[in-house]
Amino acid sequence: MNDRLHYFQSILRPVDKVIIGYQVVMTVVAAVSFAFINDGGMALARHAGSIAAILALRSAATRFGGVLLALASDWYPILSLPFTYNSTGNYIHAIFPGTIDDLLYRFDAWMLGTEPARFLQGLQTPFLSDLLQLSYCSFFAIIFCSCLILFRQGLARQFSHLRMAIVAILYGTYLAAMLLPAHGPRFEYREYFRLSGSWITETVNTFISSAAYCGGAFPSGHAGVSLAVCALLWRYQRRWLPPFAAATVLLLASTVYGGYHYLVDLAAGAAFGGAVCYGSLRWNRAWHSRCDQETVVIRG
């Protein structure tokens, strides 16, 4: 038993441990909240199956190598993010039945001196609605493209650091959403958020209504991750920073304009993302340093 545990400890990277840890927590939550979530049996099977799949993939990639296994091992943490996000919606209110929307809304009103929803409603134009609705959909594109740039440049360690920061921040916000559910202005104050735009706005609204869940506004993963992406691109691939910085500004503006987040969500997301990014990168760098030392000893 100890040998098997040591084996899995040796093949699991920090990013794998974050994802497995999350899946373990969700398995426990699913078991405890079985009667309150949609299709509890499938939820338990999904989380247990995810853990088994990660262990099998890392074991195969370490033991056999090969391009396809390496690609799957490198990219599954990023490519699985939309599915993880979607499944988290089953657990909103499973732990905490209420919401903190009223508190967040009053904090925004205190910062602006007026009700944020009414303030933003007065700014909208059809062009701005179309632009910012499209910008809101760029979130996963920002994640994927930033990782792809480092990966294609052969910057394996930098790619590992960026991947680790993204996964740690987002999985942290998924857990926070269960503990502190916030629906967001467009759900709580929907009478203010009738955006005037073309078919683009209508199409995006329809897509988001079908894909997004209600309750995961605080803290903002959009803010935490997009700002972390910009910070790491500034360090690793500075020439790519301008387009990503512009996309991030539009993305953050779109979250407030469209009523997806309160301003305090963005502030909390930025603070949370910065702290998690710092801690996760220290962990990831320490793991890489230990691997380098073990490689030197083996070669010696």
CA distance 240 to 231: 11
pLDDT value for 118: 74
CA distance 219 to 50: 25
Q: What is the mean pLDDT of the chain?
A: 87
CA distance 269 to 234: 20
Domain regions of the chain by residue span: 1-80, 95-300
pLDDT value for 294: 63
Answer for the pair 276, 168: CB distance below 8 angstroms, yes or no. Answer: yes
Task: Choose among 258, 250, 256, 261: nearest CA to 217.
Answer: 261
Q: Which tokens go with 92?
A: 């909103």
CA distance 192 to 186: 8
DSSP-derived letter for residue 219 is S
Is the pLDDT score of 44 beyond 90?
A: no
- For the domain bounded by 95-300, which CATH number is listed? 1.20.144
Is the pLDDT score of 172 beyond 90?
A: yes
**Residue 60: CA count within 13 A, CB half-sphere:** 15
Single-letter code of the amino acid located at 194: R
**Residue 236: CA count within 13 A, CB half-sphere:** 22
Query: Which has more pLDDT, 291 or 218?
Result: 218
185 preceded by cis ω (within 30°)? no
Q: What global pTM score does this model have?
A: 0.91
Worst-scoring range by mean pLDDT, 17-26, 51-60, 207-216, 248-257?
207-216
Give the pLDDT band of residue 298 (cuts 50, 70, 90): very low
Task: Choose among 269, 259, 260, 267: nearest CA to 119.
Answer: 259
